[in-house]
Amino acid sequence: QGQLVESGGGSVQAGGSLRLSCAASGFTYNSGCMSWFRRPPGKEREGVAAINFSGSSYYAGSVKGRFAITRDNAKNTLYLQMNNLEPEDTAMYYCATDQRGCINSDYALAEKRYPYWGQGTQVTVAS
């Protein structure tokens, strides 16, 4: 059974940066779509960014230009570089994976398609 473990969360001031990591292990595949989701306090989980094995990436409009998703296929690790953070970015951040490709933006950021999830890492941005 595969496992995803997130790390790198923390508390920062608005305008600051954080880099999240997600280490994948135990999966029978290392291709497919990998993604980041977040659940703000009192709200539903939402898609943030996703990336294909080839490096093609997709972003939610609210983070485009501020966040960058990358993956190191040799290390089976997913990253999310978050710059110019805003209080609205405060949330629990989760990584997810699916052996199918991302396909397009809507499908890549659709929560229901992902069978595997990490436990999450908290990001808090103070104003």
What is the reported pLDDT for 101?
92
What is the reported pLDDT for 20?
98
pLDDT tens for the 127 residues of the chain, in order: 899 999 999 999 999 999 999 999 998 887 899 999 999 999 999 999 999 999 999 999 999 999 999 999 999 999 999 999 999 999 999 999 999 999 999 999 999 999 999 999 999 999 9
Q: Whose CA is closest to 105, among 48, 53, 59?
A: 59
**Per-residue CA distances from 73 to 24, 69, 78 (Å):** 10, 13, 8
CB 41 within 8 A of CB 90: yes
The alpha carbon of residue 32 and the mean position of all alpha carbons in its chain are separated, in whole angstroms, by: 14
**55's torsion region: left (phi>0), alpha (psi -120 to 50) or beta?**
left
Look up tokens 């305008």; give the residue.
Answer: 15
Q: Return d(Cα 126, Cα 2) in angstroms, integer.
A: 34
What is the reported pLDDT for 67?
98
What is the reported pLDDT for 104?
93
CB 116 within 8 A of CB 26: no
